[in-house]
Chains A and B, each alone.
Chain A
Amino acid sequence: MNGTATAALPALPTKRDEAWRYAPHAELARLTFGPADAAVDVPAEIEAQIPDLDGHRVVVVNGAVDTGRSTLPSVPGLAITRLSDADPDAVAAHFPADGEPADAFVAYNTRFGRDGVVVQVDAGHTIEAPIHLVDIVIPGPEHNTTSTGVVVTLGAESRATVVETRLGGGSAFGAANARSTITIGDGATLDHIVVQDAPDTQISLTRIDVTQGAASTYRGRSFNLGATYGRVASTVRLAGEGAHADLSGLYFGFGDQSLDQQVDIVHAAENCTSRQSYRGVLDDASTGIFSGGIDVRPGANGTDAEQENHNLILSDRAEANTQPRLEILADDVACKHGATVGQLDETALYYMRSRGIREADARRLLINGFADQVVDDVDYDTLRAWIIDRLGHADA
């Protein structure tokens, strides 16, 4: 451990912290942190749950890379290494030497999340096969929260797809505290898909920090489905002129789940575009949270930013909280945002039933039709099928 290990850790966020307003603070206070566990057995049912993507796969179990479960074909222009083995210079963005951590969970992750995955794509290379990072948490006796790190660096004019799947097992309370640091070079394109399907005994915290170079593209898709509290927080910094960020996400809550999306797009350069499009389906007594920030810094002229959030409420006990946060400090800015919270369209249900479709089937068609507008963005058939299958099971 380095010097920061002994430094005092910041206090946990409270209800007064806007970004953590809807978090279960009593449960968060029960989380205990520590370094990665030694080899842990992964039950077959978790293994079977992993989406079968034809490509490179790294499996991380309780914060340590499981080399036996990982398949890493050698491809020119692509290097996938363990975070624990990484050259400090290559992961400097992930472990900044100075500056305050954004919150206590970042601080814990920085301190204990010393293993994980480093993906580097060399300039000019296109990596066709998806790079699949599977993060599995099985809360252990020593501490119940696992910290994992992911560092993705794309060289100029390169392209790659990174899929992060978060799963878990065991019946004990615990959490994933994962953090990804992504740097996209000039003219490069990253497709980044996060699928969170932790068991409902767990909390899942995902934090993603993206920095984009000029004319680069980041397409972020999040499927926030599992955990009692599932959180995906993305901060995208458009640092180079003409960069484009396109984020979308689906959250689909049942039981008493809370599914929280915190998005911040920072326009720090001229003529950048950003899109946020999030959809939530909330059943039973679940809660959905969307908080979307568009932060246009001085000088970021020519910014074009749009944000939309649509929520479908299926139960009178379910709740959707949606909040746009716009700060515009530049000229010549086009900024649009809109949010809706609604129920299933009774007229559409009647229309479908008048065509002979059973009421339950009509409801499912409408719900899936609503969700598919995010799911259809996924280019990989097996992953799309996995998500649809998962939604179907949840719906049954």
Chain B
Amino acid sequence: MLHVANLTAAIGDKQILKGLDLDVGAGEVHAIMGPNGSGKSTFAHTLAGREGYEITGTATLDGADLLEMAPEDRAAAGVFMGFQYPVEIPGVNNMYFLRTALNSVRRTRGDDEISAREFLSVAQEAMDLVEMPKGFLNRAVNAGFSGGEKKRNEILQMAVMQPRLAVLDETDSGLDIDALRIIASGVNALRGPERSMIVITHYQRLLDYIKPDFVHVLVDGRIVESGDHTLALHLEDHGYADFVNHDLDASGRPLSGAPS
């Protein structure tokens, strides 16, 4: 479904992604882990369409070239990114924002706009999913929200948008254990055979709640190791030391003989 091949991204002279390959099938959940500065967030933003990167390589969703699309068209194609730092938008009502987003995507797809009544039930369901209190949708988007509320709002938006591919960028950062549980159960409820997810995280603890089908280690702009969820446990015990500061062979894996 998502096919990424030899993806590079640079800002000015600084090369951040250096040939990233990743294939995500329908219904799969892939975790991407890696040390600070390895390019995890940049990868998420290249999929969502942030401007300012020089990009080469391939990224297609269901065969459609994402890299050619404006961010809003990627959303219509089914990409949703959960931001590590959700943006505060003072003066813009959360409910209005969500409805505008949903209707905009529907128009682009050639669907009818959702009725106010229908939208209310969709929104209510999404609010229940992340245990949001009433009145939450009447506040300005993320303005004055606590860290946990912002992250819950991301998952709420994801529930409303029903994306084909969700890219969750450090959705667990800054969360206490209760908020983490709510977010994770929200994400799990949204898993489905037609929806793929990329979960970017520093810490293995999120993956106790959201069990990935695959785990990838991103180091210095490349995926250097892939495995099942046990790879995350290995990282928890050993850190990224196995994958950092060692020469890599042509396949991008640590040279044999590197200490493990």
A contact residues vs B (CB 8 Å cutoff): 345, 347-348, 350-359, 361, 365-366, 368-373
From B51, B70, B75, A355 is in contact (CB under 8 Å) with B75
- B240 interface contact, C-beta 8 A: no
A354–B97 CA distance with the chains assembled, in angstroms:
12
From B27-35, B88-96, B111-119, B170-178, the one touching the partner chain is: B88-96
Q: Which residues of B contact A356 (CB under 8 A)?
A: 72, 75-76, 101-102, 104-105, 108, 161
Q: Which of B48, B100, B102, B140 contacts A354 (CB 8 A)?
A: B48
Sample of 24 A–B contacts (CB below 8 Å): A345-B87, A350-B51, A351-B89, A352-B101, A353-B49, A354-B49, A354-B74, A354-B75, A354-B79, A354-B81, A354-B83, A355-B98, A355-B101, A355-B161, A356-B76, A357-B72, A357-B100, A357-B101, A358-B104, A361-B100, A365-B89, A369-B89, A373-B90, A373-B91
A352 touches B89 (CB 8 A): yes
5 closest Cβ pairs, A-B complex:
A369-B91, A356-B75, A356-B105, A355-B101, A353-B71
Q: Does B196 contact A (CB under 8 A)?
A: no
Residue of A nearest to B109 (CB): A356
Instruction: List chain B residues, Cβ under 8 A from A350.
Output: 49-51, 71, 87
Q: Are B157 and A347 in contact (CB under 8 A)?
A: no
Q: For the complex, is B86 an interface residue (Cβ under 8 Å from A)? A: yes
- Chain B residues near A358 (CB, 8 Å)? 72, 104
Interface of A is mostly: helix
Given contacts A345-B87, A351-B89, A373-B90, 5 further A-B contacts (CB under 8 A): A353-B72, A354-B49, A354-B71, A355-B98, A356-B108
Separation of A357 and B96 alpha carbons in the complex (Å): 12
| B92 (CB) vs chain A CBs: closest residue | A369
Q: How far is the CA of A61 from the CA of B74 in the complex (A)?
A: 55
Q: How far is the CA of A361 from the CA of B104 in the complex (A)?
A: 9
Write the chain B residue with the least CB distance to A368: B91
> Which residues of the other chain, B, contact A369 by a CB distance below 8 angstroms?
89-92, 140
Give the total of B residues in contact with A, Cβ under 8 Å.
32
CA distance A338 to B231 in the complex (A): 52
B106 nearest CB neighbor, chain A only:
A356
CB-CB nearest in chain B for A350: B50
Contact in complex: A359, B89 (CB < 8 Å): no
Nearest CB of A to B75, in Å: 3
Q: With CB as the reference atom, state the residue of chain A lying closest to B79.
A: A354
Name the residue on B nearest A358 (C-beta).
B72
Residues of B within 8 A of A348 (CB): 87-89
Instruction: Determine which residue in B48, B76, B80, B92 has the highest number of CB atoms from chain A within 10 A of its CB, and name it.
Output: B92
* Min CB gap B140→A, angstroms: 7
Give B98's nearest chain A residue, CB to CB.
A355
Q: Out of B87, B98, B101, which one reaches A347, CB within 8 Å?
A: B87
* A358, A369, A373 interface centre (most CB from chain B within 10 Å): A369
Complex contact B72–A351 (CB within 8 A): no
Bound state CA distance, A353 and B89, in angstroms? 13
In B10-53, which residues have CB < 8 Å from any A CB?
48-51
Question: Contacts A348-B87, A351-B83 hold; do A357 and B92 have CB atoms under 8 A apart?
Answer: no
Nearest CB in chain A: distance from B164 CB, A: 13
Contacting A at CB under 8 A, from B164-198, are none
Complex interface: chain A residues within 8 A of B72 (CB): 353-359
Contacts of B70 in A (CB 8 A): 353, 359
